[in-house]
């Protein structure tokens, strides 16, 4: 059983993906970490994430060790991720790993931007989790209050708008719901309600 969860930043897709994976006892992959690892690694080499050659060379050498660095959660890594993610050859370089993960015998839950549309269009259940940019920025801002450098709400909102525009406006694999995805707007839903609705959808559409 493959469950594909897509949506913009801070929509709640990661929380939902982890809960569904725990519920069904299947592995989970946060695919954003792959793009963050490429973006961060280019930055650390002193390179420009928009430089396609540098980004592709890095994407070809990403290993599981590169995926657990806490700095991957930083906003610099997020912005660099969305720049490298718009380069078609970077997406291509990361595709086999994601497709293999989706199609392992145990099944999988994956979250990202193009899981239901490109990586696993054959997924048994697809969910698109979204929320207004103001609500998402406020959620990310409260998460960041514990960070060494806590940005203002306006800074988080600006960064999120820039990233949304890049992710939705790119020509390759833009952020959009699959035609057969359940759309969950989480502006007025708490995590338990999101989980309950998603679970009902999975139980209806997937054949475990």
b/e string for 173-188 if b means 16 or more Cβ within 10 A?
bebebbeebbebebee
Nearer to ligand CDP, 104 or 168 (CB): 168
Minimum distance between the CB of residue 33 and ligand CDP, rounded to whole angstroms?
A: 6
Q: Is 35 in the site for ligand CDP (CB under 6 A)?
A: yes
12 binds ligand CDP (CB under 6 A): no
Question: Who's near 205: CB < 8 A, 6+ residues apart?
Answer: 124, 125
**Rounded Cα gap, residues 36 and 32, in angstroms:** 6
Sign of CA dihedral 70, 72, 73, 76: positive
Radius of gyration over alpha carbons of the chain, in Å? 16
Cα distance between residue 119 and residue 97, in whole Å: 10
Give me the 85-124 binding string for ligand CDP, x by CB under 6 A, dash otherwise.
x--------------------------xxx----------
Q: In the complex, what is the shortest distance from the CB of residue 175 to ligand CDP, in angstroms, rounded to a whole number?
A: 7
- Contact residue for ligand CDP among 4, 78, 125, 131 (CB under 6 A): 78
Considering only 31, 41, 58, 117, the residue that binds ligand CDP (CB under 6 A) is 31
Residue 41 touching ligand CDP (CB under 6 A): no
Stretch in the footprint of ligand CDP (CB under 6 A) among 6-14, 18-26, 50-58, 124-132:
6-14
Nearest approach in angstroms of CB 81 to ligand CDP is 4
Give backbone dihedrals phi and psi of 148, rounded to 5 degrees, phi first.
-60, -45
Q: In the range 155-194, which residues lie near ligand CDP by CB under 6 A? A: 163, 167
What burial letters (b/e) apply to 117-152, b meaning 16+ CB within 10 Å?
bbbbeebebbbbbbbebebbbbbbbeebeeeeeebe
Which residue's Cβ lies closest to ligand CDP?
A: 32
- The residues binding ligand CDP (CB under 6 A) are 9-10, 14, 31-32, 35-36, 78, 81-82, 85, 112-114, 163, 167
């Amino acid at each position: 059983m493959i469950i594909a969860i897509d949506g913009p930043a801070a929509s709640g897709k990661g929380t939902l993906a982890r809960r569904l994976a725990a519920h069904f006892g299947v592995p989970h992959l946060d695919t954003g970490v792959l793009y963050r690892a490429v973006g961060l690694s280019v930055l650390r080499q002193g390179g420009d994430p928009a430089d396609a050659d540098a980004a592709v060379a890095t994407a070809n050498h990403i290993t599981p060790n590169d995926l657990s660095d806490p700095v991957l959660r930083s906003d610099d890594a997020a912005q660099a991720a969305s720049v490298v993610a718009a380069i078609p050859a970077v997406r291509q370089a990361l595709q086999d790993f994601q497709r293999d993960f989706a199609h392992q015998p145990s099944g999988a839950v994956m979250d990202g931007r193009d899981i239901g549309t490109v990586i696993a269009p054959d997924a048994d259940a697809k969910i698109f989790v979204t929320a207004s940019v103001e609500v998402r920025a406020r959620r990310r801002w409260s998460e960041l209050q514990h960070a060494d450098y806590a940005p203002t709400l306006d800074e988080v909102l600006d960064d999120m708008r820039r990233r949304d525009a890049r992710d939705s406006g790119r020509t390759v694999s833009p952020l959009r719901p699959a035609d057969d995805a359940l759309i969950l707007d989480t502006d007025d839903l708490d995590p338990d309600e999101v989980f309950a609705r998603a679970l009902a959808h999975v139980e209806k559409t997937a054949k475990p």
